[in-house]
Structure 1
Amino acid sequence: MKIIVTGSEGFIGKALCRELRNRGVDVVGIDRVCGTEAADIWHILAGGGIDAVIHLAAQTSVFNDDREQILNDNILTFISVADACTAYGVRLVYASSSTANPCNTTSMYGISKHFDEQYASIYCKNAIGVRLHNVYGPNPRKGTLLNILMNSEEVTLYNGGLNTRCFTYIDDAVEGLICAIVCKEKLINVVNPQVCTVKEFAEEVSKHNGVKLKCVGEKREFDNPYQDVNVTLFCPLLNYTPFSKGITKVFDYAEESEER
């Protein structure tokens, strides 16, 4: 197979491209940091020979208040990618988010992902959306909870650390995206069914690096105390990694990298 991956240099994109290549797939990576934009797929698809597009490129933070940036990168670019796949009859797999579930939407980011799901359902019949839930793993993105926990001496946990999440390990997210290529659904969940609090997750990290945790009652704007999982959506039956095991993998990887 030959597959285009947008956002190929991102946290999930790198892991996905590596796994696809390990499986013998010819991967065409597109990423802004390499000087290519997701909208460039029009030119690539015009040449033929592409079996699928996996669209990951996007602004990814619920705390990003640059609405114009999110409009451009998450909505207008998505429309261009979806229209290109429709025009050339190419399968589209796109990354959605737990925040696209209306009861979880607290920000422009969530709004953009919900829009993408609605647009694809009407205008891109050969598309499947993958709702990813709190993906973490080695070399976490800057600004994410795990990155902060791994690079700070003390971390403040808001709402008493009681916000609940379904932390999904990167390998499981990658496997779910690959499964979606041949899935007949229009929208699926890829989510670790193990629900835990942010405090429980942080305490597990602290066991490895001793980071100090400070719980405060204050709640942050755009933060959601509880993320609902739409159980009516199909969820691939993967061997989802418990968060304690996933965190151990993260630190094992970090130690191996230092040794190399």
Structure 2
Amino acid sequence: MTILVTGAAGFIGAYVCRELRRRGEAFVGLDNFNDYYDPRLKRDRGAALCADADIRALDLTDRDGLAALFDETAPDRVIHLAAQAGVRYSLQNPHAYVDSNLVGFVNLLELCRHRGVAHLAYASSSSVYGDSAKPPFSEDQRIDRPRSLYAATKAANELMAHTYAHLYGLRATGLRFFTVYGPWGRPDMAPLLFSRAVLSGRPIDVFNHGKMRRDFTFIDDIVAGVLGALDHPPQDDPPHRVFNLGNHTPVELERFIAVIEEAAGKKAEKVYKPMQPGDMVETMADTARAQAAFGFEPATSIETGLPQVVAWCRDYFGDNA
């Protein structure tokens, strides 16, 4: 009984692999180690969180390579976390999102279908709510007005998974992540960007003039949600469900920065700017469905989580983070 974890060297993927190892689960990972951000961070992350794990260098668009991996390992469950991430980068390099998030996802769905995978748990995003969003975001709200190509590909993933559940009975669970942060996080996201800048005395760009609220969700809470969902495959007809995984507690951007300042022992030099294309003003997860289905109870506040990020940045990047 083997679990396949895609994006295993990524932020969420590496922590999921660590928890699977703690649970005594057999798993194999794959990652393409692309250069969207420094691949060295991905390798260091894997070594720190899940040393000696079996993680193969493989791209989701490599249909033959992916098929060979399925034939070799015969996974009974798949945790699909690999994707081209980032809202703003999708404005610069749209083809990367089509290749990884659409073509790659179809390749994975086809193999799950033909190789008899019992359950596919895959990453979606709070970005899918787009212009239809009304906080708190519930899974029953519309997702047909995305604000970025990244969001559009994630909404498409949900539709595609639903189709495979309807046509072929593939059990699939979509997980809408809300701004995940923690040590070893992605360097393109605000928690690390701001922490590193404050530590080194560089200015930070504060978009929409600070008038933003985010549902920041600590990595440990997200991992608990991923594995909780994996352990409870859908019994619906068709067997496809979607869950919000968020903290249900949106934080003002200015408060978020203040907590980083407190942890760093330094004041931030803030440069206020207009709203960025593709961004959302506020995110807030309604997590009642996940709580009812598998007891999802996020418990980590930014006052607890952000100091861990700042400490990790200081340790990993040094004083001039």
The 8 Å contact of residues 149 and 211 in structure 1, kept in 2 or not, is answered as no
Alignment of 1:78-93 (within 5 A): 78-90=105-117, 91-93=119-121
Match of 2:309 among 243, 250, 253: 250
Distance 1:134 1:199 in 2: 16
Identity across the alignment (%): 28
Equivalent residue number for residue 96 of structure 1: 124
Note closer, same or farther for the CA distance 1:231–1:178 as it changes in structure 2 (3 Å cut).
closer
Compare 163-172 and 182-191 and name the one that shifted more.
Answer: 182-191
Structure 1 runs, 4 residues or longer, greater than 6 Å off? 255-259
The gaps in structure 2 that reach 5 residues or longer are: 34-55, 134-145, 235-240
Distance 1:68 1:257 in 2: 32
Match of 2:153 among 112, 117, 124: 112
Alignment of 1:232-247 (within 5 A): 233-235=289-291, 236-247=295-306
Equivalent residue number for residue 162 of structure 2: 121
Displacement, 1:250?
2.5
Equivalent residue number for residue 222 of structure 2: 173
Distance 2:114 2:278 in 1: 37
Equivalent residue number for residue 139 of structure 1: 184
Displacement, 1:114?
0.2
Compare 96-105 and 65-74 and name the one that shifted more.
Answer: 96-105
- What whole-Å deviation, never above 9, does each CA across 1:28-77 have from its counterpart, x for those lacking one? 01011253123544223234642211111111100012111100011110
The RMSD of aligned alpha carbons is: 2.2
Distance 1:142 1:48 in 2: 32
Distance 1:100 1:201 in 2: 23
Note closer, same or farther for the CA distance 1:242–1:172 as it changes in structure 2 (3 Å cut).
same
Match of 1:44 among 69, 83, 103: 69
Structure 2 residue 278 is matched with structure 1 residue 229: no
Distance 2:296 2:193 in 1: 31
The 8 Å contact of residues 55 and 93 in structure 1, kept in 2 or not, is answered as yes
TM-score by length of 2: 0.74
The 8 Å contact of residues 215 and 284 in structure 2, kept in 1 or not, is answered as no
- What whole-Å deviation, never above 9, does each CA across 1:202-238 have from its counterpart, x for those lacking one? 1111111124142525111112112253567434422
The 8 Å contact of residues 101 and 230 in structure 1, kept in 2 or not, is answered as no
The gaps in structure 1 that reach 5 residues or longer are: none
Equivalent residue number for residue 9 of structure 1: 9
